[in-house]
Structure 1
Amino acid sequence: MGRTDSIDRRRVVAGAAGTLLALALRPAAAAQPRTETTESAIRRFAGDNPIRPGRVSLDLPPLVDNGNTVPLTVSVESPMTPADHVRRIGVFNEKNPQPNVVTLHLRPGAGRAQVATRIRLADTQRITAIAEMSDGSYWSASADAIVTLAACLEG
């Protein structure tokens, strides 16, 4: 290695360290404003159809240390046959900038109506999962999560 290689690496490391320091020292950013209400997002998903509690299970930790990566599992009681299956699952929140976290489309060939992922939570809030069944009915479950370190901040 020559002397110029060492200097170039030092400059890169120093530049990266400076960028990280500048990001760490900037003032805390305010959360983005909501794009729509949770109720309007749910109505956009389900229309005017009644949403009944049941058939949906929502597994979410009740206490979340870090809102940047929150495990979430949604499962729906369904045989997943062509005659009786889950068409869609929508997950909604109360306080993130966008109330619709995710919409998942399923088909009978999925085998099981269960999904697991990680989501971001801006603050302590209620999460609601709604399943649209092949017969046009809608079922739901909700869970509350207390978030100690918020996510979804813009800055």
Structure 2
Amino acid sequence: MIPRRAALILAAIPFAALAREDALAAAMREQVGDVVPEEGGILLRAPAVAENGGQVPVTVLVESPQTAAEHVTAIHLFATRNPTPGIASFRLTPLLARAEVQTRIRLAENQAIVVLAQMNDGRVRRASVEISVGTGGCLS
């Protein structure tokens, strides 16, 4: 027989995972609306293993000519298991030579990083990468 307290904890685990997925979906929807992202067209560089979650380097390069007719207007980064999924948003113009951003992010635990790139014609591209974190960067 499972003790009552243990049963409550076990029952709460799926709800926590669902709440996290809902928060991620809401954060993405807030940035790009209801557009369904297409996979590909983004080179996402991040370490497979981050020894220190406090400073994880991430580089995003979106394949785009960056002309007035076709260019990236925004790049959004999300962390699937951070308390707040939205990490950063970068606004771009066709005046940039290429659609590339580099940053360092904080990760609390092993998780995926998701990148959405908005194009000027309304399309959204998507890429993601899994990162294992040695020491969480969101601890106080």
**TM superposition score normalised by structure 2:** 0.82
Amino acid of the residue matched to residue 42 of structure 1? M
Which aligned pairs between 1:1-155 and structure 2 lie closer than 5 A?
37-153=23-139, 155=140
Greater C-alpha Rg: 1
Structure 1 runs of 4+ with >3 Å offset: none
Does the CA-based 8 Å contact 1:86-1:134 persist in structure 2?
Answer: yes
Equivalent AA in structure 2 for residue 77 of structure 1: E
CA contact (8 A) 1:97 1:152 kept: no
Aligned residues: 120
* Alignment gaps of 5+ in structure 2: 1-19
* Separation in 1, partners of 2:83, 2:137: 10
Give RMSD over aligned pairs: 1.2
Q: Which string of whole-angstrom CA distances, capped at 9 and with x for unpartnered residues, describes residues 98-131 of structure 1? A: 1110000000011110111111111100000000
Percent identity between the aligned chains? 41
Moved more, 136-145 or 43-52: 43-52
The one-letter code matched in structure 2 to 1:71 is P
* Distance apart, 1:138 and its partner CA: 0.2
SS of equivalent residue, structure 2 residue 122:
coil
Q: Extract unaligned runs of 5+ from structure 1.
A: 1-33
